[in-house]
Amino acid sequence: MKGAPRARAIAEAVAGGEDPGRYARAALRAAQADTLNCFLHLDPDAVEAQIAGINPQAPLAGVPVALKDNLMDAGQPCGCASRILEGYRASYDATVVARLRDAGAVILGRTNMDEFAMGSSTENSAYGPTRNPHDPTRTPGGSSGGSGAAVAAGICPVALGSETGGSVRQPASLCGVVGLKPTYGRVSRRGLVAFASSLDVVSPFGVDVRDTARIMSVIAGFDPGDPTSLDAPVGNLEAACDRGVAGLKIGIIQECTGEGIEPGVSAALADAARALTDAGASLATVSLPSSPFALAAYCVLAPAEASSNLARFDGIRYGRRAEAESLADLYVRTRSEGFGPEVQRRILLGTFALSAGYADRYYATAQGMAARITREMTAALGEFDLLFCPTSPTVAFPLGARAADPLAMYLADIFTVPASLAGLPAISVPCGRALGLPVGAQLTGPKLGEATLLAAAAVIEAALG
């Protein structure tokens, strides 16, 4: 595992005259031989076509990158691991895909995910779950589990996923790789299939912190094609990885300690805290009293937005169309056959939460709670440079263990959802093992604070990675 060369080493080799197709072809062979179900689609001709156009001096020259199946790559399938999008092909490149290609990267293929990014294990994929490379009987996490597992399995050094409530940080933690959720708006959403638009962020995985910084530098930055895109300079994120944490104040989130966390996870987090202290940071406990309600708020807000966003999959405009007698019948049949149970559950919940008479009770209350959590986190980040907690309360759980219990599945996101609701950047970095499986430490920063996150993650990585 982690056997593939780093993205930095590949780009350097290609700049130095190495065959620009060497690493992408090797990655393609590894992806074709993959037994973990990381990939839903591979296109060797498309890989060759991209190799032909590589600028050897570009920052990701010759670097293979896996793409979650909800990011558009013109001409390729984009199915969100859903039957309803069977046969659909993307009509344009997502901004992040165009930026990756301009940077010399080779899009390797499309990775498995929970259907429409709803889930924490990839078991909601219409095409079967992905398996964790550290133990194939266990989940890689989700929803971006295919991308996380592809990096952990050494198929490619970097990959893209998407985050709405933890879908890159949680699989990064369970797979033992780095996952960065950028500030909301930091990376363009143009060409990302929408789940909950006010929360969605395209987010990178990396085999280490510096590779994560390299791909983040390429995809981040203003895009006039996304109305929520932030117009702010990205800076040199790779140089930030060498800054260290001397003098930084880091707040340990009190509500994310103790009960409900596996003892091995707590022990690994204690090691990560020690690594930060040893490197010159000062750590103290901070309370976010409303954070225990974040998950409940998320479970109203995300389905509410999803119920509206997914209305476009009606059997007329995209992908699959059911046989039917009337238009209404066509909608009902297409959506009943095309969407899996979790997606149907969320559309129903979201529609209910927005319906007249209930919108104030549920949707407005959840919005109020999200605002409160944002205020508490912003205040804590006035006092501290970063906040610290586990990414996931558990290590990778066995496939099947939570598949029939949506509430148990939602609990996987308990520590990742607060930063999502607040639109703040957060990173998961490996900090050791428990029960022989990877554990991730999570750091959350202020708006546009990605550089500080990477600096602190690099300190943890150096001590425990």
Residues assigned a catalytic role:
68, 143, 167
Token reading at 55 = 């600028």
Contact 141, 412 (CB under 8 A): yes
Nearer to ligand GLN, 119 or 430 (CB): 119
Residue 89 token pair: 């092909």
Among 211, 305, 413, 461, binds ligand GLN (CB under 6 A): 413
Task: Find the binding residues for ligand GLN in span 158-177 (CB under 6 A).
Answer: 163-167
What is d(CA 39, CA 149) in angstroms, rounded to the nearest whole number? 10
Please give the Cα distance from 414 to 89 (Å, whole number): 34
Query: How buried is residue 308: exposed, middle or buried, by Cβ count under 10 Å (0-12/13-18/19+)?
Result: middle
Cβ at position 414, least distance to ligand GLN in Å: 10
The least CB distance from residue 407 to ligand GLN, in Å, is: 12
Q: Could you tell me the end-to-end alpha-carbon distance of the chain, in angstroms, rounded to an integer?
A: 13
Cβ proximity to ligand GLN, 195 vs 397, nearer residue:
195
How far apart are the C-alpha atoms of 144 and 142, rounded to whole Å? 5
**In terms of CB distance, is 14 or 194 closer to ligand GLN?**
194
Stretch that binds ligand GLN, among 111-119, 231-239, 254-262, 372-380 (CB under 6 A): 111-119
Decide whether 67 or 458 has the Cβ nearer to ligand GLN. Answer: 67
Site for ligand GLN in 324-383 (CB under 6 A): none
- Selected range binding ligand GLN among 157-165, 240-248, 254-262, 438-446, rule: CB under 6 A: 157-165
Closest approach, Cβ 142 to ligand GLN, in A, equals 6
Q: How far is the CB of 353 from ligand GLN (least distance, A)?
A: 14
List the one residue from 31, 47, 117, 441 that touches ligand GLN (CB under 6 A). Answer: 117
Contact partners, residue 80, CB within 8 Å, separation at least 6:
69, 70, 113, 115, 116, 117, 193
272: phi then psi, degrees, rounded to nearest 5: -65, -40
Contact in structure between 381 and 443 (CB atoms under 8 Å): no
Give the shortest CB-168-to-ligand GLN separation in angstroms: 7
CB nearer to ligand GLN: give 172 or 234. Answer: 172
Q: How many CA atoms lie within 13 A of 317 on its CB side?
A: 7
Total of chain residues touching ligand GLN, rule CB under 6 A: 13
Exactly one of 143, 183, 392, 442 binds ligand GLN (CB under 6 A); that residue is: 143
Position with the least CB separation from ligand GLN: 167
CA atoms within 13 A on the CB side of 356: 0
Site for ligand GLN, residues 186 to 205, rule: CB under 6 A: 195
- Token pair in block for residue 186: 């930091």
Residues that bind ligand GLN (CB under 6 A): 117-120, 143, 163-167, 195, 302, 413
